[in-house]
Structure 1
């Protein structure tokens, strides 16, 4: 049994989905693990990780619109010390996962044809974000 870990650091461009599949693919290749499990963990309370369609960019836009309807800015939030977008960001992060588990088969992520891994930034302004990666297997 082998283990490998690393961290992705990226600057987001504000409220949007940023695809990180290629960076995770590179980590998986570097791990030398042929069969196992990758865990990705977002180290923030106003960002999330998602597996979503990467073929039609309208899917990403529609998802962001749906989340905006679920937790709008300007609602009567008690927590507002860090700006109007902060508490809606916390709610969205509570609804979307902070971590993902993806099988590694024959040295590659076992994603479906149209699946990509995304970091969802829920705040309006870009931020420096970190995603911890850990792979275990043979």
Structure 2
């Protein structure tokens, strides 16, 4: 593997409830290990059909607001054609069309370049699968 591309996989347990999990510290720690002060790009990718990556404010209620908005847009009921798993699980398979499974973010001087209130988050509405992988890749 080239020194220009470094990658790792995080194993995240989201539990049995819909969650927004802040990954910002994990991203910063990864960049501390691999970026060596360089500029580049951090790609965050969730290799799951029922989870996504969002950049948003956390801790002030926005994470709960996002889950509420997703519940309004994608109700957990029997309208979905995709019908395995818990009731309404088909909505989880539509989630990545709204909250994409990836984000590419700027890295300047080895540090993630986020706005003051921005955090990198795993969004998981699938209560049937509590074990998630998140791939972090730095290109610089």
* TM more than 0.5: yes
Residues 87 and 101 from structure 1, CA distance in 2 versus in 1: closer, same or farther, beyond 3 angstroms?
same
Tell me the equivalent position of 2:4.
2
In the alignment, structure 1 residue 120 sits paired with structure 2 residue 126: no
The alpha carbon displacement at 1:3 in A equals 1.5
Q: Is the 8 A contact 2:40 2:139 kept in 1?
A: yes
Q: TM-score, normalised by structure 1?
A: 0.92
CA distance in 2, matches of 1:90, 1:126: 12
User: Which is further off, 108-117 or 73-82?
Assistant: 73-82
Matched with 1:44 is 48
Indicate conservation of the 8 Å contact 2:86/2:128, yes or no.
Answer: no
Q: Does structure 2 retain, via aligned residues, the 8 Å contact 1:36–1:135? A: yes
Question: Which structure has greater strand proportion?
Answer: 1
Native 8 Å contact 1:5 1:134 kept in 2: yes
Alignment partner of 1:88 is 2:110: no
Structure 1 residue runs without a partner (length 5+): none
Is the 8 Å Cα contact of residues 48 and 119 (structure 1) preserved in structure 2?
Answer: yes
| Corresponding residue of 1:16 | 19
Contact 2:50 2:95 in 1 (8 A): yes
> Post-superposition, which runs of at least 4 consecutive aligned residues in structure 1 deviate over 6 A?
none
**Cα deviation, residue 83, structure 1:** 2.1
Structure 1 vs Structure 2 CA RMSD = 1.4
Contact persistence 1:19–1:117 (CA under 8 A): yes
Maintained 8 Å contact 1:38/1:101 = yes
In the TM superposition, residue 32 of structure 1 has moved relative to its aligned partner by 2.9
CA distance in 2, matches of 1:32, 1:107: 5
| Greater alpha carbon shift after TM alignment, 9-18 vs 120-129 | 120-129
Q: Quote the Cα distance in structure 1 between the aligned partners of 2:12 and 2:84.
A: 25
